[in-house]
Structure 1
Amino acid sequence: MPRAICLGETMAMLTPGGRGSLETADSLHLGVGGAESNVALGLAAMGVSTEWVSRLGADGFGRRIRNELERHRVGTRGVQLDEARPTGLYVKVPGDADSGTGMLYYRSGSAASAMSPALLDDPEVAAVVADAGLIHLSGITAALSDSCRDLLLELLSRPRRSGQRISFDVNWRPALWKGRDSSVLQRLADLSDIVLMGKDEALLAFGTDDEGRLRELLPTPEVLIIKNESTSAIALERDGARQEVPALSVDVVEPVGAGDSFAAGYLSGVLSGLDQRLSLRRGHVAAACTLTVHGDRGPLPDDEDLDHILRCSDEEWASLRVTQGRFLVGQA
């Protein structure tokens, strides 16, 4: 029985070899990437039994994605293969220190963009959805197509069994929403139990980054998690409680994937019964590990070290510096 499922598109990912540009690269590295599967992989790395639900093309890219997730102990029995539509593809475009890493997406007409409410009638999908304690979704899926939007609305509108929660990461992607009505994000978020967003995303998606106003716009969720870039993360609970945890000091190598790692860390804390403070710390630790590597995930501390980091004093937490996956005390 999965404790968590993550639903959304995963694509094949191409990255120029070395740090060269697309124009000069002699080779391209083939990997996989997708916000929701990144969260699934992060949860699995933290010992959470996790399934990923989606659609893939019946092609080599699709088989590679499924094999990669299974290799990292993420279940895929809720994945459908499409004989007519391809697996989506994106390309990482390395930039300089100022511009960062860019992306080129080739996902129009992909197998995942054809997800619809009918996906929930698949017996395998229905089984994992019914059994999961946590269902993780994101705004990316809603932007892929009208049928994907309807899938999320249907899933969020259905009665949940006792104890089951749905988390929703806003994951604002302006290119995907171009020409589409993004106002549905507010409805999707307000139908969820846990909502995650960057402060910058809140301003673009909801027109405000003010905490009080966001709570007025989204009164239903148990908690709103607002990530304030490298400064802090804030939990705004429905009963008015507020918890803010400073971010760790990190020697950043690449920012890609850090938000998904934060989500996986935070949600693993929630599933483990940790309070807001410790769950937010867990999110910061996971994000920091990813920020210090090239790629979508960084290795986590072992269980004993992680527990020590999570439960250290506020003074020790403030003095931590993360570099190359190592947590150094007194060097912030």
Structure 2
Amino acid sequence: MNFDVLTFGRVSIDLYSKNIGAEFNDIKELTTSIGGSPTNIAVGSQRLGLKTGLFSAVGPDPTGGFIINTLKDEGVDITHVQTINNTTSTAVICGIIPPDRFPLIFYRDNAPDEKITIDHTEKINFSRYRSFLMSGTALAVEPARSAALYATEKAKEAAIPVILDIDFRAISWKDIRTHGIVLRQYLTQCNIVIGTEEELLSVFLEDSNQVSIKESAITDPTISGNVNEAIAKVMKFGVDLLLVKTGAEGVVAYHKDGTVEKVPGFKVDPVNILGAGDSFAAGFLYGYLNGWDTYKSCRLANACGAWMVTKQGCCNFAPYYEEIIQFIENKGGF
């Protein structure tokens, strides 16, 4: 079987608060899902109709078994989800306190996805895939960083597009300046880059004091800097397309030829912003790999992101194709 996309990076069990609005200390019930940006993108893309695979790792524990079983149920190919001995599968606890407080607590001591090696990458036949999506967080530590770079080399040799979701997580980097150094080098290998304005600024960080993280909201940091300068710098690396997510406003697409497209979002009442960016990426991939133009692909992506912020979780609430098309039609169409 051939596949539309292979995603690389973290997979976890996510425990979401069922008590919307409750302070973290007052959470009484949790619901289970799987998570991690590349995992959410793989599941979201699969639900829309693409054939997806995940390159990641779990530990030899019941949590890893839960993750593998859930991926199978979603139809995501697990051929390259490794089980690595002497590691512990990742877990995340997520609070939901609308409108703007979504604390996350990560349990990633001895995380298996950080132990992925070049030898694991060697087993992948990239000619079976139509695209390769890299999560920026997967570049944070060795040996996973070298495995990721080698996977990207193999994707380039197979002449398939490389998509980078910047996915900035300050806690994943011992020195956040390293994040910028590594990402700037990686940008030279990318065809498409996806990120928020803050994530674009993160690529050019010079001082850790530029980053402010409030109440464990590590997926939504405040970063100081000049966004327009960051956008111009990214485009100088030669990427074909840069998608800058601007929340409820939608997305701005910057093309290699200098064309700029503003693609509006969809108005909804948000419950939980976690996973919205991953759902966006899944929607864009569906349109892009089906030959849609950038505007239509981004409208689908915006719809998927808007859908997700109304839900109480991440990929376990990702829309199926018929659902999201009806959502778009109900809000005025493409």
- Name the count of aligned residue pairs: 308
Secondary structure of 2:238's partner?
A: coil
The CA deviation at 1:36 is 0.3
Residue 203 of structure 2 corresponds to residue 205 of structure 1: yes
Structure 2 alignment gaps of length 5 or more: 206-224
After superposition, the Cα gap between the structure-2 partners of 1:307 and 1:32, relative to the gap in structure 1 and judged at 3 Å, is: closer
What residue in structure 2 maps to residue 12 of structure 1? 13
Structure 1 position 12, deviation (Å)? 1.5
Equivalent in the alignment of 1:306: 325
Question: Is 1:53 equivalent to 2:55 in the alignment?
Answer: yes
- Select the residue among 121, 129, 134 that pairs with 1:132: 129
Deviations 1:56-97 (A, max 9, x none): 101111111111111111110111111211101111133353
Query: Given that residues 304 and 324 in structure 2 are in contact (C-alpha distance below 8 angstroms), is that contact kept between their aligned partners in structure 1?
Result: no
Structure number with higher relative contact order (C-alpha < 8 Å, ≥ 6 residues apart): 2
- Shift of the 213–294 alpha-carbon distance from structure 1 to 2, 3 Å rule, reads closer
**AA at the equivalent of 1:12:** I
Q: Given that residues 33 and 296 in structure 1 are in contact (C-alpha distance below 8 angstroms), is that contact kept between their aligned partners in structure 2?
A: yes
Classify 1:237/1:141 alpha carbon distance in 2 versus 1 (closer, same or farther; 3 Å): same
**Kept in 2: contact 1:199–1:229 (CA 8 A):** no
Q: Is the 8 A contact 2:14 2:91 kept in 1?
A: yes
C-alpha distance in structure 1 between counterparts of 2:159 and 2:290, whole Å: 13
Query: Of 78, 81, 101, which aligns to 1:79?
Result: 81
Q: 1:204 to 1:83 in 2, by over 3 A?
A: closer
Task: Give the aligned partner of residue 240 of structure 1.
Answer: 258
Q: Which secondary structure does the structure 1 equivalent of 2:203 belong to? A: helix
Matching residue's letter, 1:84: N
Instruction: Return the offset for 1:41.
Output: 0.5
Separation of aligned partners in 2, 1:117 and 1:224: 28
Matched ranges for 1:249-260 at <5 A: 249-260=267-278
* Structure 2 equivalent of residue 29 of structure 1: 31
1:277-288 alignment, distance < 5 Å: 277-288=295-306
Q: CA deviation at 1:118?
A: 2.2
**Deviations 1:179-221 (CA, angstroms, capped at 9, x unpaired):** 2511211111231111001012212322555446534344322
**What is residue 289 of structure 2 aligned with on the other side?**
271
The alpha-carbon distance between structure 1 residues 260 and 216, as it changes in their structure 2 partners (threshold 3 A), is same
The whole-number CA distance in structure 2 between the counterparts of 1:135 and 1:162 is 10
Farther off after superposition, 89-98 or 233-242: 89-98
Task: Give the unaligned 5+ runs of structure 1.
Answer: 311-326
The within-5 A match list for 1:85-234 is: 85-95=87-97, 97-98=99-100, 100-121=101-122, 123=123, 126-127=124-125, 129-143=126-140, 145-158=141-154, 160-161=156-157, 163-180=159-176, 181-182=178-179, 183-206=181-204, 209-211=226-228, 213-218=230-235, 219-234=237-252
Compute the displacement of 1:301 (Å): 6.5
Give the C-alpha shift of residue 24 in structure 1: 3.8
Distance 1:80 1:202, change over 3 A: same
Q: Matches of 2:102 and 2:249 in 1, distance apart?
A: 21
> Is the contact made by 1:11 and 1:89 (CA closer than 8 Å) also made in structure 2?
yes
Look up the SS of the partner of 2:34 in the other structure.
Answer: strand
Q: Distance in 1 between matches of 2:326 and 2:127?
A: 31
- Secondary structure of the residue aligned to 2:106 is strand
Q: Distance in 1 between matches of 2:272 and 2:6?
A: 27
CA RMSD of aligned residues (A): 2.4
Identity of aligned residues (%): 23
Cα displacement (A) at 1:228: 1.6
User: Partner of 1:140: helix, strand, or coil?
Assistant: helix
Q: Distance in 1 between matches of 2:328 and 2:26?
A: 43
Deviation of 1:101 (Å): 1.1
Q: Structure 1-normalised TM-score? A: 0.85
Q: How far did residue 146 of structure 1 move? A: 2.2
Would you say the 8 A contact 1:156–1:188 is kept in 2?
no
Matches of 2:318 and 2:202 in 1, distance apart? 32
**Amino acid of the residue matched to residue 110 of structure 2?**
G
